[in-house]
Chain A
Amino acid sequence: MRRLVTDTLVISERNLGRLRTAPDLLIAFTVQPVMFVLLFAFVFGGAIQTPGYDYIDFLIPGIIVQNIAFGGFVTALGLNEDVSKGLIDRFRTLPMARAAVLAGRTLADVATNLLSLLILLATALIIGFSFDAGVGEILAGIGLLMLFGYAFSWVFALLGLMVSSPESANSLGFLAVFPLTFISSAFVPVESMPGGLAWFAEINPFTIVVDAMRALWLDAPAGDAVWGAVVWSLVILAVFAPLAVRRYRLAAAR
Chain B
Amino acid sequence: MTTTLVPSDPQEAAVPDNPDEPAISVRGLVKSFGDVRALDGVDLEVARGAVLALLGPNGAGKTTAVRVLTTLLEPDVGTVRVAGLDVVRDAGALRERIGLAGQYAAVDENLTGLENLVMVGRLYGMRRAAARERGLELLADFELMDAARRPAKTYSGGMRRRLDLAAALVARPPVLFLDEPTTGLDPRSRLALWGTIETLAGEGTTVLLTTQYLDEADRLADTIAVIDRGKVIARGTSDELKDRLGGERLEVRLAEAAAAPVAARALAPMSDEWPTTAGATVGLTVRGRDGTIVEAVRRLDEAGVGVLDLGLRRPTLDDVFLSLTGHVAEAADDEEGTA
Complex alpha-carbon distance, A90 and B120, angstroms: 9
Kindly state whether residue A171 has any CB partner on chain B within 8 Å.
no
B129 to chain A, nearest CB (A): 14
Measured between beta carbons, the chain A residues less than 8 angstroms from B99 are 93
Stretch of B105-113, B236-244, B301-309, B320-328 on the interface side: B105-113
Kindly state whether residue B151 has any CB partner on chain A within 8 Å.
yes
Kindly state whether residue B5 has any CB partner on chain A within 8 Å.
no
Kindly state whether residue A89 has any CB partner on chain B within 8 Å.
yes
A60 to chain B, nearest CB (A): 32
Most chain B Cβ neighbours within 10 Å, of A18, A22, A90: A90
B102 touches A95 (CB 8 A): no
A85 touches B123 (CB 8 A): no
B122 touches A90 (CB 8 A): no
Kindly state whether residue A1 has any CB partner on chain B within 8 Å.
no
Kindly state whether residue B70 has any CB partner on chain A within 8 Å.
yes
Interface residues of A in 13-29 (CB under 8 A from B): 13-14, 17-18, 21-22
Report which of A6, A7, A93 forms a contact with B100, defined as CB distance below 8 A.
Answer: A93
B282 to chain A, nearest CB (A): 43
Complex alpha-carbon distance, A152 and B120, angstroms: 28
Interface residues of B in 99-148 (CB under 8 A from A): 99-100, 102, 104-112, 115, 119-120, 122-125
A-side interface residues, number (CB < 8 Å): 23
A252 touches B125 (CB 8 A): no
B106 touches A86 (CB 8 A): yes
B111 touches A21 (CB 8 A): yes
A6 touches B73 (CB 8 A): no
Knowing A85-B106, A86-B104, A87-B106, the reply to whether A94 touches B111 (Cβ < 8 A) is no
Measured between beta carbons, the chain A residues less than 8 angstroms from B95 are 93-95
Kindly state whether residue B195 has any CB partner on chain A within 8 Å.
no
Report which of A22, A94, A253 forms a contact with B120, defined as CB distance below 8 A.
Answer: A94
Interface residues of A in 204-254 (CB under 8 A from B): 252-253
Kindly state whether residue A200 has any CB partner on chain B within 8 Å.
no
Complex alpha-carbon distance, A163 and B122, angstroms: 30
Kindly state whether residue A31 has any CB partner on chain B within 8 Å.
no
Report which of A6, A86, A94 forms a contact with B102, defined as CB distance below 8 A.
Answer: A86
Report which of A10, A18, A252 forms a contact with B123, defined as CB distance below 8 A.
Answer: A10
User: What total count of A-B pairs have CB within 8 Å?
Assistant: 71
Measured between beta carbons, the chain A residues less than 8 angstroms from B111 are 14, 17-18, 21
For chain B, the bracket of interface size reads 20 to 34
Kindly state whether residue B92 has any CB partner on chain A within 8 Å.
yes
A90 touches B92 (CB 8 A): no
A89 to chain B, nearest CB (A): 6
A253 to chain B, nearest CB (A): 6
Report which of A22, A90, A95 forms a contact with B96, defined as CB distance below 8 A.
Answer: A95
Encode B243-284 as 1/0 by CB contact (under 8 A) with A.
Answer: 000000000000000000000000000000000000000000
Most chain A Cβ neighbours within 10 Å, of B72, B106, B123: B123
Kindly state whether residue B167 has any CB partner on chain A within 8 Å.
yes
Report which of B72, B96, B115, B119 forms a contact with A253, defined as CB distance below 8 A.
Answer: B72
The chain B residue sitting closest to A82, CB to CB, is B108
B96 to chain A, nearest CB (A): 5
Kindly state whether residue B55 has any CB partner on chain A within 8 Å.
no
Encode B59-90 as 1/0 by CB contact (under 8 A) with A.
Answer: 00000000100111110000000000000000
Encode A126-158 as 1/0 by CB contact (under 8 A) with B.
Answer: 000000000000000000000000000000000
Measured between beta carbons, the chain A residues less than 8 angstroms from B92 are 95
Most chain A Cβ neighbours within 10 Å, of B102, B105, B125, B151: B125
A89 touches B106 (CB 8 A): yes
Kindly state whether residue B98 has any CB partner on chain A within 8 Å.
yes
Knowing A21-B151, A86-B102, the reply to whether A10 touches B122 (Cβ < 8 A) is yes
A21 touches B100 (CB 8 A): no
Measured between beta carbons, the chain B residues less than 8 angstroms from A253 are 72-74
Knowing A14-B119, A17-B111, the reply to whether A92 touches B71 (Cβ < 8 A) is yes
The chain B residue sitting closest to A22, CB to CB, is B110
A11 to chain B, nearest CB (A): 8
The chain A residue sitting closest to B103, CB to CB, is A86
Measured between beta carbons, the chain B residues less than 8 angstroms from A7 are 123
Complex alpha-carbon distance, A163 and B95, angstroms: 29
Kindly state whether residue A182 has any CB partner on chain B within 8 Å.
no
A93 touches B72 (CB 8 A): yes
Kindly list the 7 A-B residue pairs having the minimum CB-CB distance in the complex, ordered from nearest: A18-B110, A86-B104, A90-B106, A95-B95, A86-B106, A96-B123, A21-B151
Additional 9 contacts, C-beta under 8 A, given A18-B108, A89-B67, A93-B98: A10-B122, A17-B110, A18-B111, A87-B108, A89-B102, A90-B106, A90-B120, A92-B71, A92-B72
